[in-house]
């Protein structure tokens, strides 16, 4: 098990110094989901709600959140992101919308937090836009699925 890199030898919080690292291509993919009543899902998918296209609004929120991750998570480095993708899948059998975000950069540190933040913001936006119809919605399963680049190399979450 590695050490907690955001703590110094005295246990004080610090931002990790990446000055000596070389930039490289970094990519991360995260996912999550939001479960809801069947009628809520149908209303969102129709695109005809009072608030407009809910999925496209959530996509924009996810992209914007990824770009602002360093402002939300105290020890994250501000990064120049070279690509952000937020996509949705629908599961009518389980009345849920799956959310996937992929973020890329060519920088000195990874984009795992940016991908996770994109998923969380997209899910929260879906909730916000549909809460008048369904306060029982549940956001779950936000997790890192893959990351590549940097000293630690490739990570792919194994299936359970």
Say if residue 137 carries a ligand binding annotation.
Answer: no
Q: Is 113 annotated as a binding residue?
A: yes
Q: Is 77 annotated as a binding residue?
A: yes
By the 10 Å C-beta count (0-12 exposed, 13-18 middle, 19+ buried), 105 is classed as buried
Annotation says 107 is catalytic: no
Q: How many CB atoms are located within 10 Å of the residue 82 CB?
A: 14
Asked if 97 contacts 59 with a C-beta cutoff of 8 angstroms, the reply is no
H helices of 16-92, in order, are 38-46, 54-67, 69-72
* Active-site position among 87, 91, 107, 128: 128
75 annotated as ligand-binding: yes
Nearest to 134 by CA among 65, 26, 13, 35: 35
What gap in Å lies between CA 46 and CA 20, rounded to an integer? 51
Pick from 128, 110, 111, 106: nearest CA to 60: 128
Binding site for substrate: residue ranges? Answer: 75-77, 113-114
Binding site: residue ranges? Answer: 75-77, 113-114
Q: Which residues are catalytic?
A: 128
């Amino acid at each position: 098990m590695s050490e907690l890199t955001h703590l110094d030898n005295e246990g004080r919080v610090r931002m990790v110094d990446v000055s000596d690292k070389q930039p490289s291509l970094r990519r991360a993919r995260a996912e999550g989901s939001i479960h809801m009543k069947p009628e809520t899902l149908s209303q969102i998918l129709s695109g005809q709600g009072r608030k407009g296209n809910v999925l496209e609004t959530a996509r924009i929120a996810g992209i914007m959140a990824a770009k602002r991750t360093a402002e939300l998570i105290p020890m994250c480095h501000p990064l120049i992101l070279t690509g952000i993708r937020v996509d949705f899948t629908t599961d009518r059998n389980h009345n849920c919308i799956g959310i996937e975000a992929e973020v890329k950069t060519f920088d000195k540190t990874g984009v795992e937090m940016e991908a996770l933040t994109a998923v969380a913001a997209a899910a929260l936006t879906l909730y916000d836009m549909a809460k008048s119809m369904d306060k029982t919605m549940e956001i779950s399963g936000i997790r890192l699925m893959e990351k590549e680049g940097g000293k630690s190399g490739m990570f792919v979450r194994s299936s359970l």
